[in-house]
Amino acid sequence: MRAARGKEGASLGRPGAAALLGLLAASALLTLALHSSPGADPCWGANGARGCPRPPPALLDELSRRQRDLLRLPTSAGGHTELGPSRGGRLGCEDLSRVTGLGVVGSGFTKLVLRAALPGAGAIALKSVHPAGSDVSRCVQRHGHRAGCHRLASYKLLKEVTLLQRLDHPGVVKLHGQCYDNSLDPEIRVIAMLELGSPLEMIQLLQTPWEERFKICLSLVKLLFYLAHSPLGSIVLLDFQPRQFVMVDGNLKVTDMDDASTEELSCKEDNDCTLDFPAKSFILKCTSAGKCDGLNEKKNLFNAYRYFFTYLLPHTAPSALRPLLGDILNATGDLRYGINETLGAFEKVLHLYKSGLYLQKRLPLLKEYITLKGFRTMEMQDYKCWPSYSHLGCLLSIYNAEEAAAICNSQPQCQSFIVTQQRTWTGRPLASFRSSLTDLIPDVNAVLYIKRSAPSRERL
pLDDT at 457: 57
Q: If residue 216 lies in a helix (H) or strand (E), which one and from where to where?
A: helix 210-228
Percent of the chain with pLDDT over 70: 82
**Cα 201-205-207 angle, rounded to 5 deg:** 130
* Of the candidates 53, 18, 20, the residue with the CA atom closest to the CA atom of residue 36: 20
Kindly tell me if the per-residue pLDDT of 234 is higher than 60: yes
Amino acid (1-letter code) at residue 167: L
CB 140 within 8 A of CB 195: no
Q: How many residues does the chain have?
A: 460
pLDDT at 363: 79
pLDDT at 107: 84
Tell me the pLDDT tens digit for each residue of 351-397. 999 999 999 888 789 999 999 999 998 888 899 998 899 988 999 99
The crossing angle, in degrees rounded to 10, of helices 57-76 and 134-143 is: 140
Torsion of the alpha carbons at 109, 263, 276 and 337, rounded to the nearest 10 = 120
- Mean predicted confidence (pLDDT) in 165-172: 94
Question: For the purposes of burial, counting CB atoms within 10 Å of the CB of 80, is it exposed (0-12), middle (13-18) or buried (19 or more)?
Answer: middle
Residues 6+ apart with CB under 8 A from 65: none
Judged by DSSP in three states, 1 sits in: coil
Kindly tell me if the per-residue pLDDT of 460 is higher than 60: no
DSSP 8-state symbol, 307: I
* Of the candidates 314, 312, 323, 276, the residue with the CA atom closest to the CA atom of residue 295: 276
Kindly tell me if the per-residue pLDDT of 30 is higher than 70: no
CB-CB neighbours of 158 under 10 Å? 23
| Same fold for the pair 17-196 and 366-459 | no
pLDDT at 354: 96
* Of the candidates 393, 428, 432, the residue with the CA atom closest to the CA atom of residue 416: 432
Calpha distance 443→17 (Å, rounded): 61
CB 284 within 8 A of CB 301: no
Tell me the pLDDT tens digit for each residue of 110-150. 888 999 998 877 899 999 988 888 888 999 999 888 888 98
Chain mean pLDDT for the chain:
83
Confidence of residue 247 (pLDDT cuts 50, 70, 90): very high
Pick the CATH number of 366-459 from 3.20.20.100, 3.40.50.970, 3.50.4.10, 3.40.50.300: 3.50.4.10
- Mean predicted confidence (pLDDT) in 435-444: 88
Tell me the pLDDT tens digit for each residue of 308-349. 999 999 999 999 999 999 999 999 999 999 999 999 999 999
More confident residue, 319 or 20: 319
- Mean predicted confidence (pLDDT) in 235-253: 93
HEC assignment per residue over 432-445: EEECCCCCEEEEEE
Percent of the chain with pLDDT over 90: 55
Identify the weakest region by mean pLDDT among 56-60, 166-170, 250-254, 266-270.
56-60
* Of the candidates 156, 92, 157, the residue with the CA atom closest to the CA atom of residue 124: 92
Q: Record the pTM.
A: 0.83
CB 285 within 8 A of CB 270: yes
Calpha distance 21→44 (Å, rounded): 22
Calpha distance 434→455 (Å, rounded): 13
Looking at domain 17-196, its CATH superfamily turns out to be Phosphorylase Kinase; domain 1 (3.30.200.20)
Calpha distance 358→31 (Å, rounded): 56
CB-CB neighbours of 17 under 10 Å? 10
pLDDT at 182: 63
Residues 6+ apart with CB under 8 A from 450: 369, 370, 372, 415, 416, 437, 457, 460
**What are the φ/ψ torsions at residue 202 (nearest 5 degrees)?**
-65, -35
Amino acid (1-letter code) at residue 128: S
More confident residue, 95 or 327: 327
pLDDT at 190: 86
Domain ranges in the chain are: 17-196, 200-355, 366-459
- Mean predicted confidence (pLDDT) in 414-440: 93
As its CATH architecture, domain 200-355 has: Orthogonal Bundle (1.10)
Identify the weakest region by mean pLDDT among 10-14, 49-53, 59-63, 369-373.
10-14
CB 93 within 8 A of CB 19: yes
Confidence of residue 37 (pLDDT cuts 50, 70, 90): very low
Which are the catalytic amino acids? 239
**Residue 104 to residues 131, 184, 196, 250, Cα–Cα distance (Å):** 14, 25, 12, 22
**Cα 58-60-66 angle, rounded to 5 deg:** 105
Calpha distance 37→49 (Å, rounded): 20
pLDDT at 147: 85
Kindly tell me if the per-residue pLDDT of 1 is higher than 60: no
Kindly tell me if the per-residue pLDDT of 7 is higher than 60: no
- Mean predicted confidence (pLDDT) in 208-223: 97
- Mean predicted confidence (pLDDT) in 80-95: 58
Calpha distance 112→104 (Å, rounded): 8
pLDDT at 290: 94
